[in-house]
Amino acid sequence: MEVLANVDLVKKANIYFNGNVTSRTFIDTDGSKKSLGIMMPGEYNFGTNEPELMEILAGEVEVKLAGEDTWNTYTENTSFNVKGNSDFDIKVKTITDYCCSYIK
């Protein structure tokens, strides 16, 4: 069981898409901002400000990055990167647990 030690955790949740996507923001020990979240099955589009690393901790998603034609599948213990000031389409096939890291 992986434990993230000594992080600063924002108590209130972030709630998106009527609660179908929720996350908790935390600051890791290196000062970087990350969030742990849950996505219920459905189709969503997310915009980015900073570049992001999206790790899938459980579940299954299909992702199409802005400017690409291909959908790629990600499952437990896989990850994908998203450019800053961009967006991506995501089809959540089964309830998905993820960690998003915002890259400086």
Applying CB under 8 A, the residues found at the interface with a copy of itself are: 1-13, 15, 18-19, 22, 24, 26, 36, 38, 40, 57-58, 95, 97, 99
- Nearest-angstrom CA–CA distance, 22 and 102: 16
- Nearest-angstrom CA–CA distance, 94 and 6: 31
Smallest distance, Å, CB 24 to a copy of itself?
A: 6
- Which of residues 14 and 85 has its CB atom nearest to a copy of itself in the complex? 14
Write b or e for each residue in 13-22: b if 16 or more Cβ atoms lie within 10 A of its Cβ, otherwise e. Answer: eeeeeeeebb
- State the amino acid at position 87 in one-letter form: D
Smallest distance, Å, CB 43 to a copy of itself?
A: 16
Q: Which two tokens stand for residue 101?
A: 């890291």
Determine the Cα angle at 25 with ends 6 and 3, to 5°.
Answer: 40
Smallest distance, Å, CB 12 to a copy of itself?
A: 5
- Which of residues 32 and 95 has its CB atom nearest to a copy of itself in the complex? 95
- Which of residues 9 and 72 has its CB atom nearest to a copy of itself in the complex? 9
